[in-house]
């Protein structure tokens, strides 16, 4: 497989590479962990030259510098912009003291998109994400504003990120009932060390035909392969993060490393291949501060995990999900199917029924 083996993004006609390129690290900020303009351009060129076409940024990444770097690069390479899927996000307020400078209200969405398009030097986005839930704005206002922007040609598709399952479900249902532009993808935290998305958002996405686009697929570098027991790691990319992996996380990291050794590849490649093997369409976002980081992660394109590898990784990283997810496993089948097999799901008999068949 390679970056030019494209997949359809959710229930849409948009085709994207199996890995997106994240531009959060593009641009240097005081105290940050980004990379220079020159290195950012090398990373971008490497990704595009290898057939990559899905690039993700946000209005506040490096205070807008990320978008500007992308815009300058595309301006210097005529004809490239039209052949990539360019995505950005709105929500963050870049104007201290202005309560309408961010969020998801109609005024702020339009203003934020105009600023994003100016920095990117383009007249449209292919995908526009809500970056976070704005609990102070009715979801209908957000959706209608986004639908208007789609109809005006300023963005082609829309998606949500970091938004509760019930809000996302309400939004999608509202859009479908009113004939507004529906969501085609959800950008979520998802990795072998962060699987709680499987409680609500992943099943919702699968049901509604929405793609999952995981951010931090290597969990802030923990799954990169450089974190090992009794080894101190100094990494400028983790500025602001405290401590290293927990004991439970190291158990997962050890299993990933064992699978990687067996396959002759890296822990990062195994972790990314596991994500791509999840049910539905899953397109992880690769972040990089150096070209070699990107090239190392793209090794995952050559990795296919066998059923026994997937089982081992699934088992060791199994998440503890919030109620009511705990009620949806063996107990549900026991109560519902009463010892029968339905759609391949085998059940046992609920204990009281073993004692008597008396009905009252």
C-alpha angle 178/212/4, rounded to 5°?
115
Residue with tokens 């807008």: 64
Pairwise CA distance, residues 94 & 111, whole Å = 11
Output the six-digit token pair for 203.
């099943």
Pairwise CA distance, residues 228 & 226, whole Å = 6
Hey, which residues does 26 pair with through a beta bridge? 35
Active site annotation includes 61:
yes
Cβ pair 87, 125 in contact under 8 A: yes
Pairwise CA distance, residues 129 & 146, whole Å = 10
**Which pLDDT belongs to residue 236?**
47
Model confidence, pTM: 0.92
150 Cβ contact list (under 8 Å, min separation 6): 156, 157, 158, 181
Pairwise CA distance, residues 283 & 97, whole Å = 37
- Distance between terminal CA atoms of the chain? 60
Going by C-alpha positions, the residue among 238, 301, 273 that lies closest to residue 6 is 301
Pairwise CA distance, residues 333 & 347, whole Å = 5
**Which pLDDT belongs to residue 330?**
67
Pairwise CA distance, residues 98 & 93, whole Å = 8
Output the six-digit token pair for 102.
């961010």
Pairwise CA distance, residues 14 & 184, whole Å = 9
**Which pLDDT belongs to residue 31?**
53
Pairwise CA distance, residues 10 & 125, whole Å = 17
Compute and round to an integer the Cα radius of gyration of the chain: 22
Instruction: Give the CA count within 13 Å in the CB-facing half-sphere of 99.
Output: 2
**Which pLDDT belongs to residue 196?**
97
Q: Is 157 helix (H, G, I), strand (E, B) or coil?
A: strand
Going residue by residue through the chain (360 aa), what tens digit of pLDDT does each one get? 899 999 999 999 999 999 999 999 999 876 557 899 999 999 999 999 999 999 999 999 999 999 999 999 999 999 999 999 999 999 999 999 999 999 999 999 999 999 999 999 999 999 999 999 999 999 999 999 999 999 999 999 999 999 999 999 999 999 999 999 999 999 999 999 999 999 999 999 999 999 999 999 999 999 999 888 877 676 545 444 557 899 999 999 999 999 999 999 999 999 999 999 999 999 999 999 999 999 999 999 999 999 999 999 999 999 998 888 877 776 677 677 778 888 888 878 777 655 555 556
Kindly list the structural domains of the chain, giving each domain's residue range(s) and its CATH number in brackets, ordered by start: 7-322 (3.20.20.100), 329-360 (no CATH)
Cβ pair 185, 159 in contact under 8 A: yes
Q: Is 21 helix (H, G, I), strand (E, B) or coil?
A: strand
**Which pLDDT belongs to residue 17?**
98
Per DSSP, the residues of 5-20 read: S-EE-SSSS-EE-SSE
Overall size of the chain counted in residues: 360
Going by C-alpha positions, the residue among 212, 206, 213, 133 that lies closest to residue 171 is 133
Pairwise CA distance, residues 293 & 224, whole Å = 10
Pairwise CA distance, residues 219 & 215, whole Å = 9
Cβ pair 254, 245 in contact under 8 A: no
Out of 6, 47, 61, 360, pick the active-site residue: 61
317 Cβ contact list (under 8 Å, min separation 6): 192, 193, 195, 252, 255
Residue with tokens 């081992």: 312
Pairwise CA distance, residues 165 & 75, whole Å = 38
């Amino acid at each position: 497989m390679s970056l030019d083996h494209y997949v359809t993004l959710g229930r849409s006609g948009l085709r994207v590479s199996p890995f997106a390129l994240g531009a959060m690290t593009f641009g240097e900020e005081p105290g940050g962990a980004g990379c220079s303009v020159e290195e950012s351009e090398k990373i971008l060129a490497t990704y595009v030259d290898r057939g990559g076409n899905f690039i993700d940024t946000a209005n506040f990444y490096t205070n807008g510098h990320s978008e500007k770097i992308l815009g300058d690069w595309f301006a210097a390479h005529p004809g490239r912009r039209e052949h990539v899927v360019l995505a950005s996000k709105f929500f963050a307020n870049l104007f201290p003291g202005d309560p309408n400078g961010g969020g998801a209200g109609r005024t702020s969405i339009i203003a934020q998109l105009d600023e994003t398009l100016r920095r990117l030097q383009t007249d449209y986005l292919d995908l526009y994400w809500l970056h976070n839930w704005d609990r102070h704005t009715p979801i209908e206002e957000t959706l209608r504003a986004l639908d208007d922007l789609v109809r005006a040609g300023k963005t082609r598709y829309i998606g949500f990120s970091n938004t509760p399952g019930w809000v996302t479900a309400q939004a999608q249902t509202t859009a479908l009932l009113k004939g507004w532009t529906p969501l085609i993808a959800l950008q979520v935290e998802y990795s072998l060390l962060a699987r709680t998305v499987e409680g609500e958002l992943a099943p919702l996405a699968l049901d509604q035909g929405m793609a999952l686009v995981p951010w931090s697929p290597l969990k802030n570098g923990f799954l990169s392969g450089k974190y090992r027991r009794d080894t101190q790691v100094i990494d400028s990319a983790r500025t602001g993060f405290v401590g290293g992996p927990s004991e439970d996380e190291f158990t997962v990291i050890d299993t990933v490393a064992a699978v990687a050794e067996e396959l002759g590849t890296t822990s990062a490649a195994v972790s990314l291949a596991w994500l791509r093997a999840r049910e539905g369409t899953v397109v992880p976002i690769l972040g990089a501060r150096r070209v070699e980081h990107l090239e190392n992660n793209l090794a995952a394109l050559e990795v296919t995990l066998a059923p026994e590898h997937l089982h081992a990784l699934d088992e060791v990283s199994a998440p503890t999900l919030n109620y009511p997810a705990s009620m949806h496993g063996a107990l549900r089948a026991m109560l519902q199917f009463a010892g029968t097999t339905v759609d391949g799901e085998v059940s046992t008999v609920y204990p009281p029924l073993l004692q008597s068949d008396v009905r009252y």
